């Protein structure tokens, strides 16, 4: 079971994830694409990453927009797994 990050660890990690915003026990980032197909292609890549690291996003999609929220359900807070997924998502981002 992953261990929750401390406040200090979260603040430190966010310095390396400037596109992500802290919202309580979540990290949030919005993405905008040219059209729905590009948005969905990105979601497919993120889904494959999520399966590989066995950590999954909460997300919504509306046409060309994708909003991703990360948290660790098993412990009710942010853990290193959320940071790993945020980094993996950034690598897939346009």
Ligand X SMILES: C[C@H](O)[C@H](O)[C@H]1CNC2=NC(N)=NC(=O)C2=N1
Number of residues that bind ligand X (CB under 6 A): 6
Answer yes or no whether residue 52 interacts with ligand X by CB under 6 A.
Answer: no
Q: Which is nearer to ligand X, 45 or 56 (CB)?
A: 56
Strands 65-70 and 26-32 come out as antiparallel
Query: Nearest-CA neighbor of 14 among 66, 71, 72, 87?
Result: 87
Q: Identify whether the C-beta of residue 55 lies closer than 8 Å to the C-beta of residue 81.
A: yes
Q: Which is nearer to ligand X, 2 or 38 (CB)?
A: 2
State the minimum distance, in angstroms, from the CB of residue 52 to ligand X: 12
3-state secondary structure of 48: helix
Q: Identify whether the C-beta of residue 89 lies closer than 8 Å to the C-beta of residue 68.
A: yes
Binding segment (CB under 6 A) for ligand X, from list 7-15, 27-35, 59-67, 68-76: 68-76
Cα 51 to Cα 56: distance, rounded to the nearest angstrom: 7
Residue whose beta carbon is closest to ligand X: 74
State the minimum distance, in angstroms, from the CB of residue 50 to ligand X: 8
**Binding region for ligand X (CB under 6 A):** 54-56, 72-74
């Amino acid at each position: 079971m992953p261990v929750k990050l401390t406040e200090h660890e979260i603040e430190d990690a966010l310095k390396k994830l400037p596109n992500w915003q802290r919202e309580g026990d979540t990290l949030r980032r919005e993405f905008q694409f040219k059209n729905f197909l590009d948005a969905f292609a990105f979601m497919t890549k993120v889904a494959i990453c999520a399966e590989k690291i066995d950590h999954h996003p909460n997300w919504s999609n509306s046409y060309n927009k994708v909003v991703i929220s990360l948290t660790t359900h098993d412990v009710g807070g942010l853990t290193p797994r959320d940071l790993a997924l945020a980094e993996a998502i950034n690598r897939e981002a346009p």
